[in-house]
Amino acid sequence: MQDWERSVRSDLETALHDALRSLRATLETRLQQELNAGLANALHDATPPVQQALQRRIRSWSAQLPPPPVPLDPWPGWLAALLDSAQPPQLLQALFMAASNLAPRVAIYVIRGGAAVNWRSAGFDAPIRISLDGHNAFALAAAEARALSWRTDRPLQEPLPMGFVTSLAGGLHPLVVRDKTIGLLYYECGSEMPDGQLEPRLSALLRVAGLALDQIMRRTGRSADDSPAPSPVTVSTTRFPAVPPPATAAAPAAATAVAAAPAPAPVRPSSATEARARRFAKVLMQDLELYLKRDRPQDLNEARAQRDVYQRLREDLDKCQQSFLEKFPAGSGVDLSVLEQQIIEILCQGDRGMMGASYAGLH
């Protein structure tokens, strides 16, 4: 974490240095423009030969001026505001200001008990309280710590609560601290997403905010339950019957009873474990796709074109599967279908048939 913070702060220092250099150039340009205007006014009282000489001199001088500076990207400032926050409310305010600059309609919700409570909104009248007990997009994003986005050509599968316009492009991003969803960022953009930078930047802002909030809690000795969004979504879990003890030679009747008993139910992971597994699998596949696009684009393109992704990329996928099993072994209850889903979603672009005719599942 310290290395990451140092890297971010180094980037911020570089951006600030560039900003100061651009500001100096701007001030110099404005000063030169004022001098030009003053000289132009003085020409009215000069003789024609003097006017022509001064005009030539001014044109030559103006041609040597640097071009106007490019507007600075506010992105480093937004990250700096998150990292410099000393208290959770200050951090939420920094997150809100950054998000409201990216999308016209934004709302931040904090999770208390079984509901999402509106902390602040801009651009529209967001509902005050949203129950997370039912089946809706807010409940899904909070329970699975998963970002959701939708467009007019790719509608949202889960219903939005009353008070939200489903015909607009938008999304939900969870604020996660120590594997707990403590808040949600909702945004709307109109009929279409403005550009390809919105989703990645919002995702990065939420991730940095979660890391910064975790550091605040560590400094102040707080837990996730002391944050502005104290309680994660509570998901009920099924209680399975205890497995009877193994029989011994001294108890043949017990052995018979155990043999006749039905097989115990498989271990079922908690929703938090499933969410972590899903995020880990998604990161694995995103990293693999990025590596293939950068270093082996022909392999990826041919695998997709020939619809034989599993066989052509078998060695890479086996390494990813090994990493996944090291993180979530068989005893954790997490099934390999979690990884398979991300392979199909990312490498196969949502088309399971692209895995190949001989593909029979991960094993």
What distance in Å separates the CA atoms of residue 345 and residue 286, rounded to the nearest whole number? 10
Strand partners, 169: 190
CATH fold for domain 75-220: Beta-Lactamase (3.30.450)
Q: Which residue has the higher pLDDT, 52 or 68?
A: 52
Is it the case that residue 243 has pLDDT exceeding 70? no
**Mean model confidence pLDDT for the chain:** 76
What distance in Å separates the CA atoms of residue 185 and residue 178, rounded to the nearest whole number? 18
Is it the case that residue 125 has pLDDT exceeding 90? no
What distance in Å separates the CA atoms of residue 280 and residue 287, rounded to the nearest whole number? 11
Is it the case that residue 339 has pLDDT exceeding 70? yes
Cβ atoms 233, 142 nearer than 8 A: yes
What distance in Å separates the CA atoms of residue 109 and residue 90, rounded to the nearest whole number? 15
Strand partners, 112: 115
Domain ranges of the chain: 2-63, 75-220, 269-355
Is it the case that residue 266 has pLDDT exceeding 60? no
- Residue 106 — very low, low, confident or very high, per pLDDT cuts 50/70/90? very high
pLDDT in the model for residue 218: 83
pLDDT in the model for residue 310: 92
Percent of the chain residues topping a pLDDT of 70 = 72
Cβ atoms 108, 213 nearer than 8 A: no
Phi, psi of 181, deg, nearest 5: -80, 115
Strand, helix or coil at 105? strand
Host H or E run for residue 219: helix 198-220
What distance in Å separates the CA atoms of residue 172 and residue 161, rounded to the nearest whole number? 12
Percent of the chain residues topping a pLDDT of 90 = 17
Between strands 169-177 and 148-150, the pairing is antiparallel
Cβ atoms 86, 79 nearer than 8 A: no
- Given the structure tokens 């001989």, which residue do they identify? 358
What distance in Å separates the CA atoms of residue 355 and residue 285, rounded to the nearest whole number? 14
What distance in Å separates the CA atoms of residue 233 and residue 114, rounded to the nearest whole number? 6
pLDDT digits (tens, 9 = 90+) for 135-162: 888 999 999 999 998 887 788 788 888 8
